[in-house]
Chains A and B, each alone.
Chain A
């Protein structure tokens, strides 16, 4: 997979673009954050209950609730009852644990709902966006990269929202809950209980920056290793033919050793951080123990309060230690989100308020039409011709002469920049896009088939809502015209129900083209475009399909890009394109008499005869005796 350099967009910008998509999840996020608050609150209460049990119930000291809310005397009825029924303290702890558990369950549920529904909306939005990108943008985008953005990048983002965002919230909530309680219990101890935490946080952030660079090195080394491996495997014939097995092994070994060494170097670096932070965290706990022991021995701290400090510090240090991890994941999510937003910011086909939806018959007229993919670099210049409805137009030209560009103008996949195109007298620009597209059957050069049944593939564009019988009739008619019916019946056991593609059978290039033609013919479109769509079928089948198209009922205006004389000679009009210019536009028999590309193609047959007679002459010279061998 090609490594695309990380994109960083300002976070505020990301949120502006994604505002609508995030919106539906905000309520669940709030609920998840509140659950985190609940979890933290309950988890902090449990040590306090334990403190109460030790100090007040067992040791019989007065118990004061935080912020002087209330003081429970050690000789009050509560404490005395509990002293005789110590299991009561256990029950209180169990209830609190149940509360913590319940909130934790809610936290998981809400955050999953929030992030999954966000992901779903994001996916849907991306899918829809891609479906409305202009044709030109689509052809420029790299499919693999686009799919990666729509799948794995969305997933990275989802994970961030599901876990890392909640984790950051948790750390913030825990710190802001723990500090006030600790301050109330013992300000002096609070100072010693938190003094090392900033160091751990600083270390985390430092680590986050460093490890990214080191990761990159390892990834590069791994990529080199895969390259050597892949080149060896794909070039195995050469390796063996030249007996270079040992040479290859040496080459691989050097990459292999490098990968091992860089990975190890990275892990060494990682170990310094984890070792250091383990030392600091453990040190923080031990500091509380030592200072606490001293203060308690002086009578300034109760045993219960000491255990509360130990528990709180324990609960605080480990999440804080993971901060580095969380931050590095957040960095990854940032890159992914930027890549997603980049796609979403590509402009879609503009909407058009004032369009007409005339009944399309199929008369087409080009008046001085021009088109350019890039400024000052016209792909079509000054194209003028006109054909009546039902005519067949052959298009001939060299690679890059503008043939495909010309036919792509008709379904408005590309928008002409100069001149005018009239469909039945209506300016094409003013006809609604989906209206003209559904009136044109387009067969692309490399047709795309969905991995569904052949029937579904042909019937995809069938919008008519009527009974099954006439639908079946339309299917069979289209399939017969495209000369695929016999193939389907004879070659595929399940006939039209045969599933194509990844999950089913593989069709040959010619079969794919014919299915695509059947699909385009369905519903008898007034205009039909065949963009070199029969290149993979043999000349005989090609001729059969052309004849069938010509003779059928309710003929379409047909544009055929082809280099086969047999096809072109059947057209009513042949357009010859050179370098974006229309050099010839005439019926085929006239063109055959004019010097030009059409004539040169036409001459191939006579060249062939010449070539063959050369061979025949040669063998005649040698005598006809040995040419008649069986």
Chain B
């Protein structure tokens, strides 16, 4: 039945968007930076794995290495761009513009090195399609869903139950006080950027297996993710994830009634609705 297939699709792809939303929200709530270049990290993750696969590494190794490389990339961005800007007391607008510039650099650099055409992962390991009755699901979709749920659960656990999580929340809440109490916010920002960039890499990599690689596809998924983060409530991991899944389900189900080319409109309209009626989001954590 088509509606059920669309629902399943929505949940599965939505879990990937949820990871993007959660990771973006982590960065925004902790460092106050609207890290637009997060879309670039999403995109480059698949290209990391593509290159490693071409070098002959087995899939599992390439995927793990790709995720770690994304984390390193995020740390590089924090240290090379956001920290120097913070030192210059740059306004939020300046940081935003710099982040946008970085996104343009990443996307176009990828297009220059790897061509703007859609690439396929040079591997058949994750190529299967699983069927349960009339519902079809691709292996990368299923793996992404499982990993996403596990990752979000782990992030919530760490945030609530570990000292590390408390430290992040403390610095998010009051960076000035964090400096005074020797929590070292600058180091926390590096941790957060690293972890968040690695998490978004998971989605990028598995979407790369599922749909192919393309330099400019990060912007659209980031839009849905940021809408989810804001609508879910800044600072709420569960909120962002659930809204992302919900948005994705709605986008997919809307295919029953409207043409797929307009699905970006759904996200956009929903955002406007949220802004009008519940601007603080579904579940505020702060």
> Are A and B a genuine interacting pair, yes or no?
no
Interface residues of A (CB under 8 A from B): none
Give B contacts to A, CB under 8 Å. Answer: none
